[in-house]
Every structure is written in C-alpha cells, then in structure tokens.
Amino acid sequence: MDKVHIVGIGCDGLESLSSKTQKLINEADLLIGTERLLALFPAAIGRLVPLKSNLADIAAEIEASPSGKAIVLASGDPNFYGIARYMVGKLGKARVEIVPNVSAMQLAFARIKESWDDATFLSAHGRGMEGLVEAVRSSSKVGIFTDHVNTPSAVAEVLLAEGIDGFRAYVCENLGAENERVTRASVKDLVGKEFAPLNVVVLVKESSGSAICSKWTIGIPDDEFIQRKPLRGLITKAEVRVVSLSKLAIGENSVVWDVGAGSGAVSVEAAFLAKRGRVYAVEKDDGDVSIILRNISKFGVSDNVEVVKGEAPEALDGLADPDSVFIGGSGGKMRDIVAVVARRLRHGGHVAINIATLENLDSAVDALREQGLKLDVIQLGVARGRMVGHLTRLQALDPVFVITGTKSLGGGNEWRTI
C-alpha cells in the first residue's frame, strides 16, 4: 500500500521544497490542495483535486484508491493547526508520511524578532474565537491564526470588550511574498483596520500592561468579590476555598460543576485552573445569579464559566459530565444531588462538599458512602489577624468541614479524619 504524503509548503513556495519533494509531487497520481497551492505545480501529471471544505470526501477518495500515490499539499507545517491531524485520524499513522515546512507562525515570530518557545498559540481560522480571551489573559505572548471572519480587527474588538489592551500587536501579512508587510500597533489601533487575507497576529505583553488580570490566583481575598447585601459575608472564605479547590484536583481541561454557586467565588477560581476546560456555576437564586455574572466579568473568566440558573439536581441534567464537583449548597437535597454527581462523575473524579454543621456533616458523609465513593474528611479552623490599636489579635472564623469523595476504578471506601 502506497504512503499518503502530506507535504508542507513554506511561504516562499517552490523554493521551500527540496528537488526530491518536488519530484514526488509532480509524479503523484492524486494531488490534493487549495487552488493556490495546486497552481504551483503546472507540470504535475496526476489528477488535481481542489481542497475546500470537503475533507471527508477527500479522505474517502484516498481510502478507495489504496494503490495510488496521493499527495496532500498544506501550508507551512501540516502538524501545526493543519490538515495532518484530520488525515492521520482518518487514514492511520502507518499510512501517512508528513513532510513539514516552516509555518507562517514561526516565520512571523522570526520577522518580529521574538522567541516563540514561551508563546501560547490558537487558531481562529474556521474555528471561531472560543478560548481567545482566557489564552490572552493568562499569557505574555500569543500567536493567532486568523481568517476572513475572525480578522485582526475582530480579534481586537473581542479583547477590548473584556478590558484587555496591554499588548503590542503585530499583524504579519503575505509572509514570504514580495508584498509582505509587518504592522506594529496597539490592540486598540487594530479596530477597523483591514489587512490582507493571509495574515497572522502576534500579541506581546507590554511590561506596563494594566488590563491583564494575571494578578489573580486562587485565594482571592473575600472582599474582592461582589457579594449580595444584606447577606454580605456568606461566601466560601478564601482559606477554605483554596483547600477545597486542591481537593478537587482540577486540571487545565477539566469540566467543573459548582453547585449552589452563591457569589461565584469558587467558580471564578476554578476557571483559573481549568483554563481550557469548562466551569458550570449552578445557582437557583436570581439575585445570586446576577452577582455571579458580575464576578466572572470582573475577574475575566466569562470565556470558560457558564452560569446555569436552576435548582440541583434537576439543573444538572444538560451539563457535560464533570471531572470535579464542588457542592457549596444543597437546599436540603444533599442525597439526591450526590446520587446524580456520583453517577455522572468521570472515573478518577472528585467531589468536595463544604459543611458547617454536625447534622449536615452526617448527611453528606452518608450520601457519599451510599454511592461508594472513597471518603476523606477534614475540619478547617482558620483565625485571621486583626489589628487592635497597635497590637494584633486573632479572630476565628467558623470551623468548616471539607468532605471529599473520589470515584475510582478500584473498590473500597476509606475513612480518614484529621
């Protein structure tokens, strides 16, 4: 069975290819690529197949002709936000050979003379701008592939709407061509400007950038959160929040449920940890829902936090299965909520419950035991320093139990009290 070669072509066209690779392309039985790339090979003897949005049809055609020598042309490095992922997934690794080239993104960083080993990359090319805000907010360098809809101007508008403008922006157009151009500007200056269709955007954080919320990490002081009056103070306290989040073992791609989200403090900090994941803040109270929305806007996590208005467990039905679940309020339905959580929780996932009373502690422990989750219980007693004149005294907060249940592949519950 002949190999299918996926060949990357650099910005300088034929000059980016070895003579061996050019010969391979010209002698192929089937040559697939965009019209721009196919036009580079007028001497090709094989059948030319334009590549548009017909990836499934092309993969099927290659599979139906296993004896033909097929070449798929791509721009730059096919493995870098390119066609290689799809073709390898369809044809299998054994069938495919990849010939990479210098990507437009790599060339863009070379043009602006910035290293790119510490950059974050994403593509808005045919994919939309999901994840853009959080990626930019948490990075010092970002490279963005654009398209005719998600243009540099559109990217700038999205960022400015979230209060992000502390970057030097570079738009690199027609890289490798005679009309190549690199434009340096502020994010604000990109709005309304037009650029060539073939461009990439690079953002480099200014040292004095004021709009990036990187100062926020887990353990945000309670007073920084907007809270509902006269119930101000009914919030998961910072120290308890940090311990609870550590028990949840939230990863970058985790799906997190915050049940009884209240002010949304746990949701906000969970979003910092699940940068590429999804956090669902479930809350039944209209006033608290409004507060949550204001907090996720303030802390810049609206990109990966979704507020779900409703009462658990019914409100959990349409959500993606979670890796981590925080239960801050149950409305008297602890057993019902835990039953749904235990069934939906992914293997290896964690649920953390905050409890302030002995009666509710007993209820929560029984609920987790009934569902066969591995148990861990700790009690947190926190005292904060308070100035009295020129002296400091300690003021105790109400003790809180943090109960953790883990869904494992193996059996057996464990009970541990600290």
Nearest to 78 by CA among 27, 128, 34, 42: 34
pLDDT of 216 higher than 80 = no
CATH 3.40.1010.10 residue ranges of the chain are 4-102
Classify the C-alpha dihedral 6-12-13-15 as positive or negative.
negative
Cα–Cα distance, 381 to 399 (Å, whole number): 5
CATH 3.30.950.10 residue ranges of the chain are 105-205
Quote the Cα angle for 271-274-279, to 5°: 55
pLDDT at 6: 95
Query: E-assigned strands of 106-246?
Result: 120-123, 141-145, 167-173, 181-186, 199-205
For domain 222-406, give the CATH number: 3.40.50.150
pLDDT in tens, 119-154: 999 988 877 777 788 778 778 899 999 998 999 999
Residue 408 has which token pair?
A: 């494992």
Classify the C-alpha dihedral 232-212-189-82 as positive or negative.
negative
Nearest to 50 by CA among 69, 30, 32, 73: 32
For domain 4-102, give the CATH number: 3.40.1010.10
Q: What is the mean pLDDT of residues 367-389?
A: 92
pLDDT in tens, 274-311: 988 999 999 999 989 999 998 888 888 888 899 999 99
pLDDT of 259 higher than 70 = yes
pTM listed for this prediction: 0.54
Please report which confidence band the pLDDT of residue 215 belongs to, taking 50, 70 and 90 as the band edges: low
Q: Give the number of other CB atoms < 10 A from CB of residue 369.
A: 15
pLDDT of 245 higher than 70 = yes
CATH 3.40.50.150 residue ranges of the chain are 222-406
Query: E-assigned strands of 108-178?
Result: 120-123, 141-145, 167-173
Q: What is the mean pLDDT of residues 254-274?
A: 95
pLDDT at 125: 81
Q: Which value, in Å, is the radius of gyration of the alpha carbons in the chain?
A: 27
The residue that leads in pLDDT, 53 or 381, is: 381
Q: Which top CATH class is 105-205?
A: alpha beta
First to last CA, the chain: 63
Using an 8 Å Cβ cutoff, are 418 and 379 in contact? Answer: yes
pLDDT at 230: 56
Least confident window among 28-32, 316-320, 409-413: 409-413
Q: At what angle do helices 358-370 and 334-344 cross, to 10 degrees?
A: 40
Classify the C-alpha dihedral 159-160-162-165 as positive or negative.
positive
Q: What is the mean pLDDT of residues 351-378?
A: 93
pLDDT at 389: 86
Q: What is the mean pLDDT of residues 346-357?
A: 94
Q: Which residues of 56-88 are buried (b: 16+ CB within 10 A; e: fewer)?
A: eebbebbeeeeeebbbbbbbbbbbbbbbbebbb
Nearest to 70 by CA among 58, 79, 81: 58
Query: Could you give the strand order of the β-sheet that contains 324-327, starting from the edge strand earlier in sequence?
Result: 305-309, 278-283, 255-259, 324-327, 350-355, 400-406, 374-380
